[in-house]
């Protein structure tokens, strides 16, 4: 038997229906906020993700890279932002608008160690607001993230926020960190030993070294913000306060991608049994990503949520998102002639928008009835010899068990009344 690749999963119909309901819920919310959907390719030229400044594990170690038949280097997207920015630039979306507000939904691929809430193919629901460096826009994205989670009725939602400052702040902070970590070099993993000079911020986020006391005690980015960067951060917090968003400053938060500057944040919900996977979404502000990918000097801010984590959180909290859609009817017949009449009615009722089905295997009436019970329709419609001759339908309300003879018009009215 061939099995699915490690870190992937199948969504069977009863799960898919819940995902569809979740997607519809999120899309409606985002459209109300004025965001429009964008769909970009699942694979991109590798240099969309593998940029000189991007040294995160996620991009350096966890991407699926391959050469196509013409020897082009391509990468399955590990996240949505870089591809959306590539498209924003290529399609010159910056030309005629102030802030471009986009959302997207789709699969991403990371070669990670699979565990609950962590897959090699996973779905993200993401949002990007591109075109301005604005503390209130950063705050709006955080407020939106908070709203996304609370709109799902998830409780104990927490927003953790930090600032990595502007380029000057980060340059200074990196110098301080390099000097701080140099004496501990031998105690760091081989990758972090290289990071000391190249990109010491990543050490704070390293899966291997994160737990070491000297890493925990390392200087924090907030301590090295320039006055301008600090003022920007305080503005973001002020806007959050004015929108009544509850947040917690986490001065150790650095996020797992290197394109962030200024605001970074994550949204958690405290859900029993979730452990480290209680981070439902995360995002932040990026100042150089658009220009690095060949666009103008424009900032953006965004967030992405893991759909599987959202769904698992909803399930763990026993929140019902997909309303049960009981079919309208099931048709029962007795022989070839009544089957044909039933099929004709089936098509007509479906054309009118009613959901129903019939047994195609010509089972006995008793066995058709068993099928019907499994299908759980609101009404059973029975077509027999008498019904055909006298031009009526026998209709049984499955809930009340009441049975009546109805003309076609009365039947439509009845089905319509319960929709």
Nearest CB to ligand HAM, comparing residues 170 and 309: 309
The answer to the question of residue 302 lying near ligand HAM (CB under 6 A) is yes
- Measured CA to CA, the distance from residue 43 to residue 64 in angstroms comes to 9
- Measured CA to CA, the distance from residue 260 to residue 287 in angstroms comes to 7
Using the rule CB under 6 A, give the single segment among 66-74, 75-83, 205-213, 317-325 that binds ligand HAM. Answer: 75-83
Nearest CB to ligand HAM, comparing residues 106 and 327: 106
φ and ψ at residue 4, rounded to 5 degrees: -65, 155
In this structure, are residues 101 and 117 in contact, taking their beta carbons and an 8 Å threshold?
no
| Nearest distance in Å: CB 302, ligand HAM | 2
The answer to the question of residue 268 lying near ligand HAM (CB under 6 A) is no
Residue in the shown chain whose Cβ atom is closest to ligand HAM: 302
Using the rule CB under 6 A, give the single segment among 195-203, 304-312, 313-321, 347-355 that binds ligand HAM. Answer: 304-312
| Nearest distance in Å: CB 54, ligand HAM | 12
Nearest CB to ligand HAM, comparing residues 40 and 338: 40
Using the rule CB under 6 A, give the single segment among 131-139, 171-179, 296-304, 393-401 that binds ligand HAM. Answer: 296-304
Give which of 48, 55, 50, 114 is closest to 85, Cα–Cα: 48
Q: Which residues lie below 8 Å from residue 100, measured CB to CB, with a gap of 6+?
A: 88, 93, 94, 128, 129, 130, 131
3-state percent breakdown (helix, strand, coil) of the chain, nearest 5: 40, 20, 35
The answer to the question of residue 256 lying near ligand HAM (CB under 6 A) is yes
| Nearest distance in Å: CB 280, ligand HAM | 5
Q: How many CB atoms lie within 10 A of CB 132?
A: 15
Nearest CB to ligand HAM, comparing residues 252 and 355: 252
| Nearest distance in Å: CB 294, ligand HAM | 19
- How is residue 4 annotated by DSSP? P
Nearest CB to ligand HAM, comparing residues 264 and 382: 264
The answer to the question of residue 304 lying near ligand HAM (CB under 6 A) is yes
Nearest CB to ligand HAM, comparing residues 81 and 162: 81
Q: What would the DSSP string read from start to end of 144-170?
A: HHHHHHHHTT--SEEEEEEE---HHHH
The answer to the question of residue 81 lying near ligand HAM (CB under 6 A) is yes
The answer to the question of residue 261 lying near ligand HAM (CB under 6 A) is no
Output the six-digit token pair for 204.
């704070």
Using the rule CB under 6 A, give the single segment among 9-17, 22-30, 99-107, 306-314 that binds ligand HAM. Answer: 306-314
The count of chain residues that interact with ligand HAM, using the rule CB under 6 A, is 27
Q: What would the DSSP string read from start to end of 25-48?
A: HHHHHHHHTT-EE----SEEEGGG
**Crossing angle for the helix pair 190-198 and 167-181, to the nearest 10 degrees:** 130
The answer to the question of residue 316 lying near ligand HAM (CB under 6 A) is no
Using the rule CB under 6 A, give the single segment among 95-103, 115-123, 233-241, 242-250 that binds ligand HAM. Answer: 115-123
In this structure, are residues 393 and 387 in contact, taking their beta carbons and an 8 Å threshold?
yes
Token pair 């902070």: residue: 173
- Measured CA to CA, the distance from residue 19 to residue 87 in angstroms comes to 27
Output the six-digit token pair for 147.
């709203």
Nearest CB to ligand HAM, comparing residues 115 and 367: 115
Give the start-end residues of each E strand in 64-173.
65-67, 73-76, 100-109, 121-130, 157-163
Q: What is the H or E stretch that residue 357 is in?
A: strand 356-358
Nearest CB to ligand HAM, comparing residues 122 and 181: 122
Beta strand 157-163 with 73-76 is unpaired
| Nearest distance in Å: CB 384, ligand HAM | 54
The answer to the question of residue 118 lying near ligand HAM (CB under 6 A) is yes
The answer to the question of residue 131 lying near ligand HAM (CB under 6 A) is no
The answer to the question of residue 112 lying near ligand HAM (CB under 6 A) is yes
Nearest CB to ligand HAM, comparing residues 145 and 338: 145
Residues lying near ligand HAM in the complex (CB under 6 A) are found at 79-81, 110, 112, 117-119, 122, 124, 126, 128, 256-257, 279-284, 302-306, 308-309
């Amino acid at each position: 038997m061939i099995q699915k690749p490690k870190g992937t999963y199948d969504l069977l119909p009863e799960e898919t229906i819940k995902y569809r309901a979740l997607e519809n819920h999120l899309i409606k919310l985002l459209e109300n906020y004025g965001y429009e959907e964008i769909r970009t390719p699942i694979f991109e030229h590798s240099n969309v993700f593998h940029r000189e400044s991007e040294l995160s594990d996620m991009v350096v170690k966890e991407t699926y890279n391959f050469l196509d038949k013409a020897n082009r280097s391509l990468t399955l997207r590990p996240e949505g932002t870089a591809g959306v920015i590539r498209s924003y630039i290529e399609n010159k979306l910056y030309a005629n608008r102030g802030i471009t507000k986009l959302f997207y939904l789709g699969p991403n691929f990371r070669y990670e160690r699979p565990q609950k809430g962590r897959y090699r193919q996973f779905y993200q629901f993401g949002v990007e607001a591109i075109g301005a460096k604005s503390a209130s826009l950063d705050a709006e994205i955080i407020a939106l993230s908070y709203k996304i989670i609370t709109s799902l009725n998830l409780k104990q939602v927490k927003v953790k926020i930090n600032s990595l400052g502007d380029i000057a702040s980060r340059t200074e902070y990196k110098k301080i960190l390099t000097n701080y970590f140099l004496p501990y070099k031998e105690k760091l993993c081989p990758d972090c030993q290289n990071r000391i000079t190249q990109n010491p911020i990543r050490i704070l986020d390293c899966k291997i070294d994160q737990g070491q006391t000297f890493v925990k005690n390392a200087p924090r980015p907030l301590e090295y913000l320039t006055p301008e960067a600090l003022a920007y951060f305080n503005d973001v917090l002020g806007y959050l306060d004015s929108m009544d968003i509850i947040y917690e400053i986490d001065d150790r938060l650095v996020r797992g991608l290197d394109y962030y500057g200024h605001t970074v944040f994550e949204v958690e919900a405290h859900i029993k049994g979730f452990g480290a996977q209680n981070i439902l979404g995360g995002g932040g502000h990026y100042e150089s990503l658009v220009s690095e990918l060949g666009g103008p000097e424009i900032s953006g801010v965004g967030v992405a949520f893991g759909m599987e984590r959202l769904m698992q959180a909803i399930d763990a909290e026993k929140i019902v998102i997909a309303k049960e859609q009981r079919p309208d009817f099931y048709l029962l017949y007795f022989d070839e002639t009544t089957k044909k009449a039933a099929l004709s009615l089936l098509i007509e009722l479906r054309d009118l928008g009613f959901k129903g089905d019939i047994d195609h295997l010509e089972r006995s009436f008793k066995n058709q009835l068993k099928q019907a019970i499994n299908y759980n329709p609101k009404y059973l419609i029975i077509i027999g010899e008498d019904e055909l001759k006298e031009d009526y339908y026998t209709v049984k309300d499955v809930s009340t068990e009441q049975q009546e003879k109805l003309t076609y018009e009365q039947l439509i009215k009845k089905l319509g009344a319960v929709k």
